[in-house]
Structures are given as structure tokens and as C-alpha cells.
Amino acid sequence: MKQLIYSAPVRKLLLTSILILSDTLFFLFDDPRKLAPGLMIIGFLLTGGSVYLLFRIGAWIMKAMGLIREYRPLIILSASLIFSLIIILQALGQLSFRDLAVIIPLAAVSYFYFTKTRSSNLQS
């Protein structure tokens, strides 16, 4: 039983559930539009961490099921940043179609830039 608790997947699930619970409690008692900027940043960092860990667990499950061949942390980071930014803008009431039209292509370009930079650094 002790080995099960300390295994990596169980730790990821435990950390993710703690982050989601703290994020939920944080925003349950406060309105993001009325918070001080410092507290808002803390809440949005909690949201970003929760989304990132959920995407990592999703990728781990998909790899275990054989749906993907390899684990790509850069894709997970890019997708979680996009999703977190959309959640944050929506929570503040600032999300519009123009924001989505800018965020998604910018994220795609940055993903390809970082993968190209990383592959050129590995070759040299």
C-alpha cells in the first residue's frame, strides 16, 4: 500500500487534486474582477498549474492506452498556456472572438519556433 501511495501517477493525481481544490476554493470565495492584482496573479497561477497538470495526466493516460507514441512536454505546455489564458480572460469578462483569433495563431507560431530552436540546438 505504501508503494502505491508513493508511485508517480498517484502523486500526480494527488498534486492535481490539491491544486484544483485550492483553485476552486480561492475563486469560490472571491470575484476575480474585484480582487487586488497580487491576489489575482496567485489565483491565476493556481489555475495555470491545475490546467498544466491536467494536461500532463491526460497525456500520460493517452500514452498508457497507446493513443500517442511519445510524451511531448512542449505541446502540453503550449496547450495548457492557451487554455489557461482563455480561462483567465473569460473569468475577467474580457474574452472575445478577436482574442481567440490572436491567441491561437500566436501559440501555433511560438510552438513551431520553439521546436525549431530546440532541434537546431540539438544538432549543433
Q: Could you tell me which residues come within 8 angstroms of residue 87 by beta carbon, excluding any fewer than 6 positions away? A: 47, 51
Picking from 64, 111, 33, 42, the residue whose alpha carbon sits closest to that of residue 50 is 42
pLDDT in tens, 47-66: 888 888 888 888 888 888 88
Position 45 pLDDT exceeds 80: yes
Position 1 pLDDT exceeds 60: no
Residue with cell 505541446: 75
When the pLDDT of each residue in the chain is averaged and rounded to a whole number, the result is 80
Mean pLDDT value of segment 6-28: 80
Question: Which residue ranges make up each domain of the chain?
Answer: 2-123
Mean pLDDT value of segment 11-39: 81
pTM: 0.75
